[in-house]
Structure 1
């Protein structure tokens, strides 16, 4: 094996640069002494620009735990941390596993960093788990909703019959209250059950749907939010239910608008972006082409404690919200064999709809 490897005539530097793992060596002052190609890609810089720069200069103030690295260097202690989020000054955030090894050369204390990006693997795992949890939560809510809905009709009918027997007009106020509250609960239960109709599929330009959503939101005179568009006009016509897709996008856009308004974000902006992605995996199935529709805002971000449950029914951070908008958007997207992905941190929230692009054939004309 050693002879065959030697015959390849690969130098140690070439081998290190072929690694997908980021390798960085720095001294006790955080000055970078060595990087491989994977590190240059992560830091988005060139080899000439990397020298004489300190490692932490690439990150926002709280984008990296400097104290952890300082303690390790000072005490010559190696460490490993999983699922560390590194946030860069250009707005990027990546999820990583980090291993740090301290060593001395010529009385100089150094640290070797190995950084592995785990965003994609984590997303695939989380997507599978969250889809199963959301389905279970949805079935539980639907079961409870049916159990509530069945007696509501009887309560409403009994109140109406009782009202006819009352001789004192003042007492009718109470029976009317029962009827009104029953109607309110029935409306809430209907929303909990979500859309039951099958999608009415047709070939449409996805940007026409997005523009309708933008127009509806912009007509709301209660806000002062700028809109930006970043469209990939090469996306072909798609075989979708335009009303369902519009409702899903509208629910997400309204969520962004409300977050910006409640936080009074200065220079509030919502960006509508479309892209094409190849070989996307959605719920374990690979799709050759997918349209990505992103709604991005510069608001406060989703609270950390809600990130994993944001698509569950009745989960909301809004004081007067009912927590159904994103749950309904998820259901409508499921009807198209798609998914919704979310990335959020302070100053940035992006919801992305993944919709598979079908080939136009005679069977779905």
Structure 2
């Protein structure tokens, strides 16, 4: 594709005239392009500039094929609109761009004359959410297999190392026992520490899934009482419950552990605010409707938010917080959120997270009957 020709005074004047004719589109929140029969862009509103990361001056000098690697599908929609086959054409598209993430959009293409079409592009938030959930599920599956294999590979030699250290301690000469026993005890204690870590990694896959009727507010209240006992001053835990949420089938102990892991992480991140006395956690429950979880559509879902007013999650680890052994806290094991995500996925749900300085929101979504 040859580079676009530089804008001429006449083309700039034509663009200005089009902008005046389509002035009402300047205020729309969705991106709008006016595309000619030759697939050249003649007008772009401010929302399109934002969506496509280009100024209108650049966009109106561009051909659709210069913007999108896979522009053929969009060009075909424009052709059908120009042929007046439909009043308007609506379709979800994944528009690929060189060196950038694909743009997931809902497109509406309408003819506005014999040689022009209006292309409206709305970012497809639902598709982005589905893609993100799919990545989380795929990564979680990879993590589970990796953890299981790695844990078993570590367990066997660990037992041998510990046993050898105990035998060595028994064989030590009495004269040197007190001096050398310190070293064998280091080996034994470190082997035990690693064994505990391995057991924690394997815990979700070993423990049976005990299903019963669960009231989510009983789960939240149990966690709230534990957290207030652990942090008796400086931390306020506010409840914002929807009492209409029905009971559902689940493993109550796993869900308590899930909520506890998230709230404890939040409280530990709030240490500075706890000292200042203005730390706050919010537990909010709502019913979400028509949710897609793990590629399955549910009419109703539990929407549980755990929100804190802490410093936020570091951007360096924000996309990896559910990976095992990733922690934003000095001395943290990096297993709490991994186990929480595993337990929620065993309930056919998902955990999402949004974070910025002053607000971190963990959202647990679980299907409801």
Matched, 1:270 2:284: no
Aligned to 1:232: 242
Aligned to 1:335: 346
Equivalences for residues 220-299 of structure 1 within 5 A: 220-221=230-231, 224-261=234-271, 267-299=278-310
Aligned to 1:78: 59
Aligned to 1:92: none
Matched, 1:173 2:182: yes
**Structure-2 separation of matches of 1:161 and 1:33:** 81
Residues 355 and 33 from structure 1, CA distance in 2 versus in 1: closer, same or farther, beyond 3 angstroms? closer
Q: Classify the secondary structure of the residue corresponding to 2:270.
A: helix
Equivalences for residues 85-124 of structure 1 within 5 A: 116-124=122-130
Select the residue among 129, 149, 156 that pairs with 2:155. 149
Aligned to 1:188: 197
Query: Considering only CA atoms, is the larger Rg found in Structure 1 or Structure 2?
Result: 2
Q: Is the 8 A contact 2:241 2:286 kept in 1?
A: yes
Shift of 1:181: 0.9
Q: Which runs of 5+ in 2 are unaligned?
A: 1-17, 31-45, 61-66, 69-94, 97-102, 108-117
Residues 177 and 143 from structure 1, CA distance in 2 versus in 1: closer, same or farther, beyond 3 angstroms? same
Please give the per-residue CA displacement for 1:96-124, whole angstroms capped at 9, x wherever unaligned: 9799xxxxxxxxxxxx9966233221110
Q: Classify the secondary structure of the residue corresponding to 2:292.
A: strand
Q: Is the 8 A contact 1:26 1:32 kept in 2?
A: no
Please give the per-residue CA displacement for 1:110-149, whole angstroms capped at 9, x wherever unaligned: xx99662332211101111221012112211221111011
Q: Is the 8 A contact 1:98 1:113 kept in 2?
A: no
Aligned to 2:113: none
Give the aligned length. Answer: 279
**Structure-1 separation of matches of 2:139 and 2:252:** 27
Aligned to 2:208: 198
Q: CA RMSD in A?
A: 3.3
Shift of 1:275: 0.8
Aligned to 2:78: none
Equivalences for residues 343-358 of structure 1 within 5 A: 343-358=354-369
The more displaced of 299-308 and 120-129 is 299-308
Q: Is the 8 A contact 1:313 1:324 kept in 2?
A: yes
The more displaced of 255-264 and 193-202 is 255-264
Please give the per-residue CA displacement for 1:276-297, whole angstroms capped at 9, x wherever unaligned: 1122111111122211111011
TM-score relative to the length of structure 2? 0.67
Q: Classify the secondary structure of the residue corresponding to 1:296.
A: strand
TM-score relative to the length of structure 1? 0.68
Runs of 4+ residues deviating >4 angstroms? 31-34, 79-83, 95-99, 112-115, 262-266
Residues 268 and 322 from structure 1, CA distance in 2 versus in 1: closer, same or farther, beyond 3 angstroms? same
**Structure-1 separation of matches of 2:105 and 2:26:** 19
Please give the per-residue CA displacement for 1:42-84, whole angstroms capped at 9, x wherever unaligned: xxxxxxxxxxxxx99xxxxxxx98xx88xx47xx34388999x
Q: Classify the secondary structure of the residue corresponding to 1:219.
A: helix
Please give the per-residue CA displacement for 1:177-231, whole angstroms capped at 9, x wherever unaligned: 1111110110011112232212211113210110111111111237612221111
Aligned to 1:363: none
Aligned to 2:15: none
